[in-house]
Amino acid sequence: MPLVRETYKHRQQLVGPTLTGRMLSIVVGPVPDRPDIYYVFSARPASRKERGSYEHTEGGSVS
C-alpha cells in the first residue's frame, strides 16, 4: 500500500514499491474540468527521505 500525501493544487504524492521492489515517488492530480480522471505529473525514484518515511509508516523495510 503506498504512502499518500496531499500536496498543492489538489495533487497527491504516492510513495511505495513496485511489484519488483523498486521504490517510486509519483505525483498525480485531477484533470481540469474532469475531477474523476487523474493525470501523472511526475514519476521518479523515491529519495532517501521518502523511502525512510514510507518504511517508518509501514513499520519495516521494503525488500
Half-sphere exposure at residue 20, Cβ-oriented, CA atoms within 13 angstroms: 2
Q: Indicate yes or no: pTM above 0.95.
A: no
User: pLDDT of 5-52, one tens digit each?
Assistant: 999 888 999 999 999 999 999 999 999 899 899 999 999 999 999 999
Answer whether residue 1 shows pLDDT above 90: no
pLDDT of residue 59: 63
Backbone CA torsion sign across 10, 11, 13, 14: positive
pLDDT of residue 38: 94
pLDDT of residue 61: 56
Tell me the sheet residues that pair with 38.
30
Answer whether residue 58 shows pLDDT above 60: yes
- Residues contacting residue 36 through CB under 8 Å, at least 6 positions apart: 30
Q: What is the DSSP letter of 60?
A: S
Q: How many whole angstroms separate alpha carbon 13 and alpha carbon 9?
A: 12
